[in-house]
Amino acid sequence: MNDIAIRVNNVTKLYKLYDKPTDRLKETFGLSKKKVYKEHYALHNLDFEVKKGECVGIIGTNGAGKSTILKIITGVLNPTEGEVDIDGRISALLELGAGFNMEYTGIENVYLNGTMIGFSREEIDEKLDDILTFADIGDFINQPVKTYSSGMFVRLAFAVAINIDPEILIVDEALSVGDVFFQAKCFKKFEEFKNNGKTILFVSHDLSSISKYCDRAILLNKGHKIAEGNPFDVIDTYKKVLVGQLDENNYSGTQKGINDITHNENAQEHWKDNYVINPDYQEYGDHLVDIVDFAVVDDDEVYTSTLIKNTFFTIKIKIRANSNAENPIVAFTIKDIKGTDITGTNTMYENSDIGRLNPGDERVITFRQNNNLQGGQYLLSLGCTRFENDDFQVYDRLYNICSISVISEKNTVGFYDMNSEVKII
């Protein structure tokens, strides 16, 4: 394979879905003359290569086929069609702790897992101190893992996988385990692998990590590869997929690229139809004025829930009056996933009066700002309120209505970046 570490050639994975167990039995023994199952393609004619020493990220929505292709590459699953060629010894971080025996002690599981990966006892002996230091679970290493907390369990599993010296590292959403200090240690080890020229195939929903670490990215959607190339270009395509701007009428299963994403802003009846709405969002108020629509758009006027740090974006909010309303106040708030208010503003703070509304009147309020938030996941809340004789009145409030992802190549301390200019004299 010369300089190719992983070659995926025309790989298809088909699952047969049965309505009831007896249908599976009939099909197994040929007792049914008609097809008694539905076909679901987790992957369809997938092709790509990973060069030795390259770090490649795979992104896509849930159900896109990301974990399926990793399991086929690592031999956990067999493809229905196609083949995978591997040149190098693999260590995989797929389901942390898979293969652990809960009755064995931590130290016994270290040797068990090392043997399963393909290492001799002597090779594991050489790595043992590094594994135990990395896991840092103290005397619990000599206790059965069934007594471990979930944090201790994943620390040990990660330590075993990451400290075995593979030629190819396969990672599936496994870097953000344990507390913040252990996460920092995981990312440092990951960077060491990359700097040492190891081949890395990396699946993550953390787009900041994809853009920071990966040389190339591959975008999967419904089992098809639709984009491959520079991480930022592929992430930009992914942003459009997330808000339903993939032109599926022209998508027949062949591999598509960035130009196959539609920019038609009229593809959805409402702006908000372009977003995944939080099923647990809360709405309250007297509804004398309603928030009837909203959107987040980047500076190219593309609907998005994924923002690039240090770029401008706009929040659009449409309100409609159901009765007379005098100068309502429209607001947005961005929170972290723990519920802490990070930032936000409203028309009153910005000295922008909406004025009087009569029944049926509509207004669109836009807030445009530079995005200095750190990379991560955030929640967006919207509100329409007013003050009347010092009394606060809520017309309509949408609490945690949708999520926003921020992609950043550089994160600083805290919630936002002050964009400091550094000089060394």
Answer yes or no: are the C-beta atoms of 40 and 15 closer than 8 Å.
yes
Please write the tens of the pLDDT for every residue from 319-353.
999 999 999 999 999 999 888 999 999 999 999 99
CB of 306 closer than 8 Å to CB of 405: yes
Using 50, 70 and 90 to split pLDDT, how confident is the model at 178? Answer: low
Q: Which residues contact 408 (CB under 8 A, 6 or more apart)?
A: 208, 211, 308, 309, 373, 374, 375, 417
Tell me the torsion sign for CA atoms 24, 26, 29, 32: negative
Pick from 202-206, 255-259, 412-416: least confident:
255-259
- What sign does the CA torsion over 189, 190, 194, 200 have? positive
Give the helix/strand (H/E) hosting 184: helix 180-195
Type of residue at 44:
H
CA distance 15 to 21: 15
253 pLDDT more than 50:
no
For residue 188, which amino acid is it?
A: K
Instruction: Report residue 36 as tokens.
Output: 């008694």
User: CB–CB of 310/370 below 8 Å?
Assistant: yes
Of 136, 133, 115, nearest to 124 (Cα)?
Answer: 115
**Cα 218–225–78 angle (5° rounding)?**
100
Residues shown for the chain: 425
pLDDT tens digits for range 146-160: 998 877 887 888 888
Cα(307)–Cα(372) distance, integer angstroms: 10
User: At residue 383, does pLDDT exceed 60?
Assistant: yes
Which pLDDT does position 229 carry in this prediction?
94
Query: How would CATH label the architecture of 4-229?
Result: 3-Layer(aba) Sandwich (3.40)
Note whether 384 and 319 are within 8 A (CB). Answer: yes
Taking the domains of the chain in order of start, what are their residue ranges? 4-229, 272-407
Q: Which amino acid is at 31?
A: L
Q: What is the pLDDT of residue 327?
A: 93
**pLDDT (0 to 100) of residue 113:** 81
The rounded mean pLDDT for the chain is 86
Nearest to 59 by CA among 210, 248, 222, 275: 210
The CA–CA distances, whole Å, from 105 to 112, 118, 146, 153, 223 equal 10, 20, 8, 11, 40
Q: Is the pLDDT of residue 10 over 50?
A: yes
Pick from 353, 293, 357, 290: which is nearest to 320 by CA? 290
216-221, strands of its sheet edge to edge: 90-93, 168-172, 199-203, 55-59, 216-221, 224-229
What residues form DSSP beta bridges with 294? 317
CA-wise closest residue to 296 among 310, 314, 317, 278: 314
Burial class for 358, CB neighbours closer than 10 Å (0-12, 13-18, 19+): exposed
More confident residue, 177 or 300: 300
Q: How many CB atoms lie within 10 A of CB 365?
A: 22
Query: 191 and 214 in contact (C-beta within 8 Å)?
Result: no
Q: Which residues contact 422 (CB under 8 A, 6 or more apart)?
A: none
CATH of 272-407, one of 3.30.43.10, 2.70.50.60, 2.30.40.10, 3.40.640.10: 2.70.50.60
